[in-house]
Each structure stands twice: as structure tokens, then as C-alpha cells.
Amino acid sequence: MHKLILTAVAVNITLATSASAMTIQPDPQNPTGYIVSGTELADAENRLTLDPMYDVWAKALETRDNSIVEAIVPNAASNPVNVKRVERVFPQAQWDFLTGMAAPEYTYTRFLRAIGKFPAFCGEYTDGRNADKICEKSIITAFAHFAQETGGHIAKDNISDNPQQLEEWQQALVHVREMGWSEGQPGYTTGCGQNDWQNRRWPCAEGQGYFGRGAKQLSYHFNYGAFSEVMFNGDATVLLNNPGLVADSWLNLASAVWFFLTPQAPKPAMLHVIDRTWVPSQRETAAGIGYGFGTTINVINGGIECGEQNKNKGQPVNRIRYWEGLSSYYNIPIEADEENTCWQQTPYGGLNLGGATDVLFTNWDGNWKYHADRPGGFSFECELVGYQTAYSALEAGDYEKCVTNFYGSHLSWPEVRVVPHIEPPVDVPPVGGVAAWDSSKVYLKGDQVSYNKTIYEAKWWTQGNAPKQGSGPWKFIKALP
């Protein structure tokens, strides 16, 4: 573990590499901290997210203001474009056909509002793809999963419990709360109160339960907090303090749409599996992961339901039955390269992505690589990782938060404050003719430079290491008037 040692001498360290440059200076407002350039952080973030899919993902997660959403009602002329498409391809009559057993908290109006919150769901395509067909397939895919997650699972010939003799794929949305749980019961509080990043960002409220609620059975405080931020302009506390809203309002369906649109690196967003915006990587293709309903199972619950060992397991068998019944009824075409099953796939959790260059990740974590020419050896940077963290590459400003918020949660990380821009000090060569230090130049043992009106001599090969007294590759020679 690196030990951070600060001195009273001003330091300016600039690292020039093929990938990045960082200007790091002691913080004049904090004797134990440093300042970094916001401009350089933004450049680093942009460089790491150059792939166009980052813009596609971010666009898919854009939302409308709740004041617009809550004005949505069936057949209103003011309804957003994507809502009108849903009304056209999946009208109230079809909703009623698939929700004969549904809990009263699920309504068609709430369904439309959930979709209206996210313009990308049943949104427009400008490249020739059929938006209506993709919309219908998205809805039917969602209902196949609803039928498994919250369905009645009652046999058609069980007339006493199923007097309407509904197909099992017509029995979606029966449960609005996880069976065995009710409001007022604290529970699903695993990890609450711990001193970790999840609790600092999404602190549990005393006495609240974060058990499954809604069409996707949203569970655990970190999911409630993240969903709340999307629904309420970055405010995690709304649903952390009142998780029951996910059962008793249009959020019971919006939580499922949010999940449908959100990539969980390295898993793609379910929408992009369906509309083929996602292109499987070489590792995914080798693991049997391609297009089709089966991959949406892998996205949702692959660790439990996918792979040869789960071929005959109840959950995936049910999902596939429901999908096949629904797709047959609605005449959803199954393309030649699509698989309904995922038993032939490696679950995402078991996929070895080490060294893969064509897999994109969506979360920031600290870059722990050692930098000999930076204070304490720290990078002062973040990198993309294939696991959940508090910081998303799809959220504006999260890269900067990653760099600055690690202090306090990681004992060895330095205190960092961001300023808009840092101008490297201008050093005028002295009359003696010793040239000013150049951050891009290679210096060999014995080379001399001037820096901050001081002459230094290189003790060994160096590049990008700003001269300073007492340490590093430079030897103090003399101070100049």
C-alpha cells in the first residue's frame, strides 16, 4: 500500500504518455490534498468512452419530466410519440387480454406512463428498422418475463383457481409485492449500515423494507436508490424513504422498463438484444450468446437459469414456454439466428472477459496502476470495469465523482479537488543559459534544467518528472536570484 507523503514545497507533476497527461498540484486550500484539472478529467473520460455505443446507451436512458409523464392517459392527443405507438400496436384490449389475473395496481394508464418516461422504449428508428415491429416484440418479450416473475402459474385446466381458463402466458402481473411481504415490514436490508460506497450513495432508511416490488420485483436498497435517481432527477432518497411507491404507483411498471433499457456491463440492454443495436463480442459468440429470447434470460438471471446444468430447470423452462406461447399468438417472427433458450450459453457471470478488447464496460472504478511520477504513486484516474460501482459511464459527471470521491472510502487514495483548468508554471530560462524543464523531453544523467528559479541536475534517465528538492530523479544544484 502506498503511503502519501506531502512536503511544504510546491510540486507540479505532469505525466506525458501515449494515453494521457495529468497535471497534479498541491491544493493551496488543503495541506494534505491535491488539485487536478477538470479539463483534463473531461478529456480522459471522453477518450475512454469513444465507442459510439456509450452514446447509444446514454440516449436510451434519457427520461421525460414526471409532470409530462403523469399527464399521460389513453388516447390523449398530447401523449408522446412512443406512447402513441404503444397504443397503436398494443391497445387497451390487448392489455386486458394478458392481465386477466393482474393485481389492480397494474393498469393500462400506468403502463403507458411507464413507457412515456423513457422515450427510447418503442421509440423511433431512422435507419430502416421497423419501429412498430420492434415495439411489439419488446412488449411481448417483457410480458413473457412478467409471466414468470409475477405470474399466477396456474394450469389452464385448474378451473377452481383459473375459472377463465387463461393460458399461463396470460397470467402476468398477479403480484405487486413479493409473496410473504407487506408494507411496514423491514427486510432485504443485507448490507444496510455498512461503511461502504453503496451505503454512502444509497443509505437505507430506518424501518423500511427493500423486498421485491413491481413487475420486475425490484429488490435491495442499492437498486431502489439507483432507480430513484432516474425517476426523481438524481434524488435517491425518494424511494429509499418510501419504497412502497414502487408497488402503488406507475413506478411498478417503470422499474421494469428501466431494467429493460439498462446495460449491466458486460450484459447488454435487453432492448438492444431485441432491436440488434448490440453486436455480440467474440467472447460472447464463443460462449453461445447471440440474438434471441434466450439471451434476455441470460441478462435477467443467467447465473441461475442458463447453462447446460439448468436446461430442465423450472424458471427457464417456464419463461421459454411463455415466450413461445406469446410469440405464436402475436405472430412474432423468430429469425434464423435467434435462440429461444439459453441452456447452450455460458452465464454472463461465468464468462471470462480478461483481455477482451471488444467488450464494453459501463462503470468507473479507481485506476490502481502505480505511477512513479505522480504523488504517492497514484494514478489520479479512473477506469472502466465489468462490475457495479457507484459511478456510471452513462451518467454525466460520474467520472469526476469517481476521481474525487475515493478519498474516505479507500484509505490510501489521496484527497482530490477539481479546478476548471491548471496552467503549468512558466519558467523563464536564466541568464546563465540553462534551459527550462520540458515535460515532454527525455533527460539523461548529468543533464541540467532550470525550474522555478532553481537549477537541477538529472540523477538518471527521466521524462515527465517535474524537478523538486529532496526526492525523485533530480539533484538540487543551486537557487537563482
Say if CB 57 and CB 362 are below 8 A apart. Answer: yes
Q: Return all residues near 398 (Cβ < 8 A) that are at least 6 apart.
A: 364, 391, 392
The cell for 467 is: 524537478
- How far is residue 298's CA from residue 158's CA, in Å, rounded to a whole number? 31
Are the CB atoms for 406 and 418 separated by under 8 Å? Answer: no
Tell me 375's DSSP state: G
Instruction: Give the residues across from 476 on adjacent strands.
Output: 456
400 is catalytic: no
**Among residues 40, 45, 149, 339, which one is catalytic?**
149
The CA distance from 327 to 198, in Å, is 39
**Parallel, antiparallel, or unpaired: how do β-strands 382-385 and 21-26 relate?**
unpaired
C-alpha to C-alpha distance for 111 and 90, rounded to whole angstroms: 11
What is the C-alpha to C-alpha distance for residues 437 and 385, in angstroms, rounded to an integer? 36
Burial class (CB in 10 A: 0-12, 13-18, 19+), 353: middle
Q: What is the largest CA-CA distance in the chain?
A: 101
Distance in angstroms (rounded) separating the CA atoms of residues 261 and 118? 9
Active site members: 149
